[in-house]
Structure 1
Amino acid sequence: MTDLNAEKPPEQLTLQQIKLQLQSTNPFERFNAVLYLKDMQTPEVNDLLKTIINKDPDYIVCELALLLLFDKQDRQLFEIVKHLFFDTSEHRYLRARAIWIAGKLQTKEAYQILLKALNDTSEEVKYWAIIGLQNYNFKSILDQLLKLLTSSRSQMIRRAVIWLLGKVQVRPARVALEKTLQQDTTATNRMLAAWALHRIKAIESIQVLCRALEKESFELAKREIVFAIGNILQHHLNRKEEIEGFEKIKDIAVRILSRTLLRDQSYIVRRVCAEALGKLTDQRTVPNLVEILGTDTNPFVRREIILSLGKIGDPSVKEALKSAKKSNYKIVSEAAYQALQKLREN
């Protein structure tokens, strides 16, 4: 889609010169002519932009004109957006841009357009309708979104729904995301589902995330799952709230994270495991962290283990940290120095 921040041509033209350039048969020249209108603030300029949208044969030129009208907050913008959406003969990217704008308008009328766009045949239009719903209260159409998640063959649409579900704190959304994490055959969708669950921060998701971590083979999905486990637990620890069964849930997470830290072949996954364990500040993790500090050869993993030991604050790790301070890797030795400083402060 067209970028409104594209550079304007170097010299400025008069409005009359711009109109002449807009008559060119070269779409690139017409595109540049529209760019000249970016900083012109007159009703005549807005009218010219509307004419371009209605008459220019190239959708990229029309899209830029539409973006400029949006930027200028033209009073007829919604009517133009509405017309572009309902005119299915328009290019799908131009219609998609119109829906993108509808998502930004945040009016009841624009919301109704987004709802209609959810049933559009164009994936691009449907995608931007889903993304645009983030600016509205979309809980009333949650069932429709969940249906899209399970029935759409488009990965683009399904990912947009997963992303949107991460913004709503209701049980059906969480359950759908947990199911996606456990059953979806596309690794990117599982990764995005873990990210969305992290946004929701429901303690009920921890055990699902732990089971998913043990089954997952895709490195980036594992990283996102670990990140979610650590951040959700840290969130509830910081709130100091009474949650039934919390210690049992945390124990499961500690066990799974420790095992993954010890066994996973990816240093990226091991590093985030070490970080997650540090967020839990659980003294019981110290022996495992110290042991792995002595065996893991990756400096990035060792650095994260050291920082986590510093956060936990157990004085029994001083000797291990002093040894790490002698490392040839600067990131390891500096982390050990920081951790020792933190122990002294505590």
Structure 2
Amino acid sequence: MPIITTTEELAAFCARAAEQPFVTVDTEFLRERTYWAQLCLIQIAVPEGAGEPEAVAVDPLAEGLDLTPFWELLADERVVKVLHAGRQDLEIFWVQGKVVPRPLFDTQIAAMVCGYGEQVGYDTLVRKITGRSIDKSSRFTDWSRRPLTEEQIAYALADVTHLRDVYLALSRQLAESGRAAWVEEELAQLADPRSYVVDPEEAWTRIRTRSQSGEFLAVVRELARFREEYARRRDIPRNRVFKDDALLEIASSRPRNARELSRSRLLLRDARKGEIAEGILAAVAAGLACPPDKRPRVESAPQRGPKQEALADLLRVLLKTKAAEAGVAPRLIASAADLDAMAAGA
């Protein structure tokens, strides 16, 4: 199985790939114990008939390997980069290589427009389009361990070799249906680097809460900011600092000292002392001290009575029917929030 471990091999393959109309790309990574994803393998395939090898696995953990040729290939606007459900891959490319592939084609997004459903999985899409089944035996591999077996590499390469056929089939369907432009807005959002690094000041917006209290939300914002910065600095998952439910509990109880903080039922024992505890108390104090005009604001959800509830249900049925008739995923026509707003305005 072809696996690239040197910069020279990578540069040679990427130079050949740069002469092709498209390449398919995937990655294997670990993220269970870190804030930043640990890139463990990169898979690249060129079109069939473009010379051997057609598909390679690049070992980013190989000593001395410089990924610059790969980053340059991703940035080459002559070559379409094809991924499936590529958001996490793109985050890795941006964080490590400071590049987002352009032009970009995501087969999961294209599949929504072509009638394969919303967020269709790669295995399902391959089976529906090519009739082939993918061996899943290496799905839960620890990709950081070396050496990789031939079975592991074969599994990894299947993620890009079958993707070629999926891309070509979806491209034809988009062209024949006249819907190629429908995916452009979704792909433009996917290619926006701003979506791949969380601004600590905006981390609170990812936390679900029903409270509309400005003071409460100000404390939530400060706690989320501290957690994001601490997790990033220590390269540990956010939930290893404290989970969302603990954050919301603290924002409600608003402890002012270590004794009050120790009463938290949801906070991990290690977070009740030391740097994390100090950061929590400082965040609570900062949130409480925030002037009213600087507090976060959350727009209230539209109020709905029985009439609006019934109308919202009817709109959902209508949306599902029309989406099925058009052969597209419902969210490409309207979101749940759109339907609720329409019903509330009736």
Length-normalised TM-score, structure 2: 0.29
- Give 1 or 2: higher strand fraction: 2
Structure with the largest fraction of helix: 1
Higher-Rg member (1/2): 1
What's the TM-score, normalizing by structure 1? 0.29
Bigger relative CO (Cα 8 Å, ≥ 6 apart): 2
